[in-house]
Amino acid sequence: MLKNIDPLLGPDLLHSLCAMGHGDAIAIVDANFPAEANARRLHRAEGIGATRMAEAILSVMPVDDFALPSAYCMAVEGDESEPSAMARAFARLLAVSGHGHEIGLLDRDDFYDRARRCFAIVATGEMLLYGNLILVKGVIG
């Protein structure tokens, strides 16, 4: 047990977050994302929504403010310029947590490619479509 750590952040996920370096990324993905096939390190959180998991991760991990964008969502198929409801929810969460950077929108294939390169993937139980977020780790100091 640790004090002041969100209970959603178990020991394995905390280890990954701590082991990540500046510029490494973590993907928080919805229930439809093929996480098992794409993850180098997979953390399962099937009972948790993606925004709630992002909130927990943002409570301990700084987001990069050097190379922008430092957050990416999957664009809506057929309308890549319009952010999904989930992308708007992630943007609000980033703003509230002090990371009000613009979120980059990636088409499905580009998002999958970027997710494959992430340090880790957290597979959530998010059922809303396009409930996928990639966060790039910043620095503390």
Which are the catalytic amino acids?
22
**HEC string of the chain?**
CCCCCCCCCCHHHHHHHHHCCCCCEEEEECCCCCHHHHCCCEEEECCCCHHHHHHHHHCCCCECCCCCCCEEEECECCECCCCCHHHHHHHHHHHHCCCCCCCEEECHHHHHHHHHCCCEEEEECCCCCCCCEEEEECCCC
